[in-house]
Amino acid sequence: MKEALEDAREKLAAPPDLAICFVSSDFRKSLPDLIEHFQIDGHATTLVGASASGLLGVGQESENQTGISFLLLRLPGVEITRESDFSSRPRRSTPPPAGAIVLAHPFRSSAGEMTTSLQERFPRTPVLGGQISGGPELDDLFLFTEEGISREPMLTITFSGAIRMEPLVAQACRPIGEPLIVTGAQGTSLTSIASRKPLQVLEDAFTELTLRDQETAQGNIFAGVAIEEEREEFTSGDFLIRPILSADLDRGELELSSPTRVGQTLQFQLRSPAVATETLKAECDHLFEAHGKPFASLLFAGRERGVELFGEDNHDINIFENNFGSLPVAGIFGSGEIGPAGNRLFHHDHSFCGALFYPQENAD
């Protein structure tokens, strides 16, 4: 650890303005020693970190293994602000921050309340991040700073000044069946779609699949809620992906991971490694053509990506580096990703999100 931090610090040629660190859960007991390493060997005075069940780094993905992924950032001309209390009224800064990173504890804040709060606080700022992971015990999920374990529901870092942050959001599902209107919903219970039982609509969508898709569909079918209702046609990336938690066979109802409401457009989705690959490649191509290579990036992947989805190691990080080249990165496999879709901020599932950092010329 000492050598890695010293090497990273020497490459910066100056003390870092910010250190971001992700660790496997077994580091909780030795967290004071780890923080000391960052302060002494890394010369980092500001540290933000979290536990994770899987890590992403330069050219590597590590799932369910002991490890550390960290990023030291030297950002001259950039103001860095760390926040954790969102109970006060949002500050309207002019200009707004160039970007915000959020790390959230999944059991201390609901996804819906969190994204609403962040949207209100940062209405004109790209926000990226995720809900942390770890396990299997509750104490195995934790946020931390240079002061130790944080009991806050989330930690947010904002960047202002000579920096620009571009968001990357790539999903892993394609629509199946037809887009239909939700006609009955109670909280997370989906009770009626187009005046039909949701389970029957799902079964119809399943029977329309090819035999090959049916064979791989178990555990890979989700509900998709349309992001923009006014679209005439929907395709991959037009939906918020929501896991189906259970089905009531007698009532024909479905329990989703988050609430729906009457009037929303819903279409079932099939998670596919081919779609995940194509979508991530397309998003990376678009960002590289528009903005070039970033100087650093933070990455947030759904924890059911990786080997479970693709059947091979380092799939997503290889696509990322094939497009942008090798650059300093740190990241996690989390329990939910946070990123923009359209003009709003949303909580995602099974996606690959990234915050790509670029210098902002002529910043005040």
Max Cα separation, the chain?
66
The mean per-residue pLDDT over the stretch 288-295 comes to 97
Confidence label for 102 from pLDDT (cuts 50, 70 and 90):
very high
- 150 and 66, same structural domain? yes
Distance (Å, rounded) from C-alpha 123 to C-alpha 345?
A: 9
Domain limit, last residue, from 270, 289, 320 = 270
Domain co-membership, 79 together with 149: yes
Of 241, 270, 299, the residue at which a domain comes to its end is 270
Please state, in angstroms and rounded to a whole number, the distance separating the CA atoms of residues 310 and 276. Answer: 9
Q: Are residues 291 and 335 in the same domain?
A: yes
198 and 61 co-located in one domain: no
Residues 6+ apart with CB under 8 A from 259: 112, 185, 187, 188
Same domain? For 227 and 283 the reply is no
Query: What pLDDT is stored for residue 210 in this prediction?
Result: 94
| CB-based burial, 162-193: b 16+ in 10 Å, e otherwise | bbbbbbbbbbbbbbbbebbebebbeeebbbbb
189, 187, 186, 179: which is closest to 248 by C-alpha? 189
Q: Hunting for tokens 């079932």 — which residue is that?
A: 268
Residue 88 banded pLDDT, cuts 50, 70, 90: low
85 has a pLDDT exceeding 70: no
Same domain, 55 and 162: yes
Q: Are 162 and 54 in contact (CB under 8 A)?
A: no
Together in a domain, 310 and 342: yes
Q: Residue 98's pLDDT is what?
A: 95
Is 242 in the same domain as 313? no
- Note whether residue 355 is domain-resident: yes
DSSP-derived secondary structure letter, 196: B
Residues with Cβ < 8 Å from 202, sequence gap 6 or more? 177, 221, 244, 247, 254, 268
31 and 140 part of one domain: yes
pLDDT at 211 over 70: yes
Mean pLDDT of the region 291-296: 97
Cα–Cα dist 34/16, whole Å:
16
Secondary structure of the chain: what % helix, strand, coil (to 5)? Answer: 25, 40, 40
* pLDDT tier at 229, thresholds 50, 70, 90: confident
Sheet holding 344-348, edge to edge: 78-83, 154-161, 99-104, 127-131, 337-341, 344-348
Q: Are 30 and 1 in contact (CB under 8 A)?
A: no
Q: For 108-150, write each residue's pLDDT tens digit.
A: 888 888 899 999 999 999 999 999 999 888 899 999 999 999 9
Residue 364 lies in a domain: no
- pTM of the predicted protein model: 0.92
Number of compact structural domains in the chain: 2
pLDDT one-digit tens code per residue, 70-81: 999 999 999 999
φ, ψ of residue 337 to 5 degrees: the values are -105, 150
Residue 212 lies in a domain: yes
pLDDT at 362 over 70: no
Query: Do 138 and 263 belong together in one domain?
Result: no
Residue holding tokens 């904002």?
A: 158
Q: What percentage of the chain carries pLDDT values higher than 90? A: 81
Residues 6+ apart with CB under 8 A from 100: 118, 122, 125, 126, 127, 128, 129, 156, 157, 158, 159
Q: Give the mean model confidence (pLDDT) for residues 161-186.
A: 96
Within 10 A of 272 (CB to CB), how many other CB atoms are there? Answer: 19
Q: Dihedral, CA atoms, 253, 259, 260, 266, nearest 10 degrees?
A: -70
**What is the residue-averaged pLDDT of the chain?**
93
pLDDT per position as a tens digit, 308-353:
999 999 999 999 999 999 999 999 999 999 999 888 999 998 899 9
End-to-end CA distance of the chain, in Å?
Answer: 37
CA distance 15 to 5: 11
If asked whether residues 58 and 122 sit together in one domain, one would say yes
For the cut 90, the answer to whether the pLDDT of residue 269 exceeds it is yes
Task: List the domain range (segments joined by +) for residue 192.
Answer: 174-270
Arithmetic mean of pLDDT, 158-187 = 96
Q: How confident is the model at residue 83 (pLDDT cuts 50, 70, 90)?
A: confident
pLDDT tens by residue, 233-267:
899 889 999 999 999 999 999 999 999 999 999 99
Residue 73 domain flag: yes
pLDDT at 87 over 80: no
Cβ atoms of 51 and 34 within 8 Å: the answer is no
Same domain, 167 and 179: no
